[in-house]
Structures are given as C-alpha cells and as structure tokens.
Amino acid sequence: MADVCRSTGISHKTAPLPAGGDAKSTAIPEDESADQPQPRQWTLALASMWIPTVDISDEWAARFARFSEFMQETLTTSMVTLWTTSPVWTLVLYIYLLTYVESLRTLLVIYLAYCFFDPRPYDGVGRRFSCISKLPLWEHVNAYFQPKMVFEAPLDAKKKYVFGSHPHGVIAYVSQLIAGTTGLGIESHFPGLVVRGVTMPAAFAVPFFRDYVLAMGCLSCDRSSIRRILSDRHHRLHQSLLVVVGGAEESMLAHEGSANLVLLKRRGFIREAIRAGCDLVPIYNFNENSIYKLVDNRPGSLIHRFEMAVKSLFGFTILIFHGRNVFFTPYRTQLVSVVGTPIPVRRNWDPSESEITHYHQLYVEELTRLYRKYKPRYAPDAQDIQFIA
C-alpha cells in the first residue's frame, strides 16, 4: 500500500473512528487538500475585506497637509531667526568674504571705508526704499509674532510727531516694526504720515546690515541728525520721529515680565520736540521683553560689570541672553504696541528748563496711564511700571 501511495500521489491519512468501529485507513487525494484555505490566503481574504473601507486619497491628502504645515512653520521660524540675528550673520558674512574670497577683497575694503564716511545716516534724509514693505519677510514676521497696534486717538498726517517707544527690550524689535517701511507699523494705519526711526551710530558701521537699516528708513540718533529729520524743509515737512528713549541702559533691564524704564533723566527728546513744535506721543510695546531671556545680571554681578564696561567704552553694550535654541530663535509671543494720545506742544526755539520739565512730566503721566490701562488686557502677569532713572 505504501508503494501505491507514492506512485499515484495519494496521501494516506487516518479518518475519525466510527462509534464502536475499528480504525481503518482512508486515502484523501492531494488535490482536495490543496483547495483548503492556507494561512496566506486567509490574510489576503481579510485584507480584501478591509482595504476598500479606507479612502487612500484622503489619507495622503492629510499627510501632505501636515507636511506642508510643518514646512511652512519651519520657513517662518527660519526667516524670523535670520531677521532677529541679522546684525551678527551679516558681520560674519562680511568677514568670511574678506578672508576667503580674494577676488572681492579690494571691493570689500573700499566698501568698509565707505561705511564710515557715508553721510546718509546723518543728513535727515537717508536712503529709504518703500519697496522694503513688500518683502515676503514681513509675512513671516506677522505670522510669528502677530503684531498688533492700538491707537487711542487718530493721528493727523499733516502734523509732525515725536514718538517715544518703550521699553527698549534686548534689540528693540517692536520699534523696528512700527517705524519705517515694514508695512506693519504706524504708516500703514495713517497713509501720508512719514515716521523715521533712529538708532545708535554704531549700527551704520556694520557692513551689509547698515544698508538694510538705511533702506528701512532709520537714521542716526545724534542731535544733529534728529534736528535735520524734524526740520521745516519743504521736502520733508511732515516727517515724524520715533526714538527708543531708554537706550542701551534700559536694554540691560529687559527681563521677562518686567517694566523697568529709564526715562526720568531722558529729556533730550522733549527739548527737540519743543524746538520743532511736534506733539509728543508715548508708545508702550507689550511683550517686548519676552522675545529673549536675559541671564541674571543684577547690579554687582560679573555679567553686569562686563555690560557696564562695554557701554562706557562704546556707548552700547553686549547683552548675554538666550532664545528658543542655539540659533537664538526668539520666543513666540504676540507683540502689541499701544499708541497714546498726543500731547500738544507749543513751539519754542529756546525752551527753558521749567518748560522741558513741564512737558516731561505730562509725558511720564501719559505713559503710566497707558501702561496701567492696557496691562490687564495684554500683559496681565507683568509687573507694574517702574522708572529706574
């Protein structure tokens, strides 16, 4: 029987025992065994039942949407990081080209000399380009910080103003947005009003970065430059000024949640407003101090002594701070600028100290009122306003 099974391809299996019977051998053909479902066939059968219930196109569309959202977020974060760190990487780029690209070395040296002798940052006119406001950069800045401006009173485009911006923050980013040709600031809300921001002269010595600052409409903050900005020449009759009053000294106080201002001894901008007959307008920028986080630099500490030494030597200081990562990406927070009610100023070419004190006191009161009114809405956890000096 065994030989027959091998020759005919018949397998030999044992059938179930009948009741009360003996076991006997029963042959089952192999072709019948092949018709029985195998494990792989069962898997395919289950898959054929499940696959039609899933819409493959919808699944891939959802995946693509998540990927597009991730790439957009990465692009926005990268662009904002490049903007906030532009003074550093432009300087590094210049040094790299000067060191390793011999064909450009002569031109770069000539350009550096031009940076120091260019009169445009000090002539009250500058080199402003309105097309800067159309750069895609501002769309990313707008998406990242969601800047908002609140005006307590309308501004007259036929008048001139001196805007005081507070606080300074680490690098006064909000002041960059609300002044100049960014498309996000005062000029976008009141067409015809021209606002020129001012910054320290050292900013115009940084190659490449200086040209960006000039294109934005910023000029030097020295007295002669400010007086040219506010002069009565016909081609810039309605040119207003925005100054970050606290300066480098206030930047060392830019800790998150604080509202420590250096204002009591800052009286020069009041004098220039009186000489030019410009109304004074205080601005408080909520969450400016939350963009970066300063390390502990309390008075007397080693870091504080270092910052003060740099300030005494160069007029500006080098702050030690950190952001979201090693690339100094700023922390994400909504930036809100509240523009106060203009303080009318009577023009006087030679203001007295008592007159300056009078307008300075009005300015401090208006700024304090502005902060305390809007703090519960835009920075409820922040400290109360304090005037350090």
* Residue 236 covered by a domain: yes
Q: How many domains does the chain have?
A: 1
* Structure tokens given for 301: 């500490």
Using one digit for the tens of pLDDT, what is the confidence trace for 344-385?
999 999 999 999 999 999 999 999 999 999 999 999 999 999
23 is a domain residue = no
Q: In a 3-state reduction of DSSP, which class is residue 54?
A: coil
Most confident of 58-62, 175-179, 325-329, 361-365: 361-365
What pLDDT, on a 0 to 100 scale, did the predictor assign at position 21? 43
> Rounded to an integer, what distance in angstroms lies between the CA atom of residue 337 and that of residue 335?
7
At residue 18, the pLDDT reads 44
Q: Is 378 helix (H, G, I), strand (E, B) or coil?
A: helix
DSSP designation for 130:
G
Asked if the structure places residue 270 within a domain, the reply is: yes
For residue range 218-264, list pLDDT tens digits in order: 999 999 999 999 987 755 668 999 999 999 899 999 999 999 999 99
Q: Give just the sign of the alpha carbon dihedral 221, 223, 226, 228.
A: negative
Q: Is residue 60 part of a domain?
A: no
Mean pLDDT, all residues of the chain:
86
Q: How far is it, in rounded angstroms, from Cα 24 to Cα 13?
A: 10
Q: Does the residue 134 lie in any domain? A: yes
Q: Is 75 a domain residue?
A: yes
Query: Is there a domain that residue 48 lies in?
Result: no
Q: Does residue 30 or residue 188 have the better pLDDT?
A: 188
Residues 6+ away with beta carbon under 8 Å from 71 = none
Distance, CA of 187 to chain centre = 19
The CA distance from 88 to 327, in Å, is 11
pLDDT per position as a tens digit, 132-182: 988 999 999 999 999 999 999 999 998 999 999 999 999 898 998 998 788
What confidence score (pLDDT) does residue 8 get?
Answer: 39
Note whether residue 52 is domain-resident. no
pLDDT, one tens digit per residue, over 102-126 is 999 999 999 999 999 999 999 998 9
Task: For residue 293, give the 3-state DSSP assignment.
Answer: strand
User: What is the domain extent for residue 253?
Assistant: 68-286+335-387
The percent of residues in the chain predicted with pLDDT above 90, rounded, is: 66
**Residue 56 clears pLDDT 90, i.e. is over it:** no
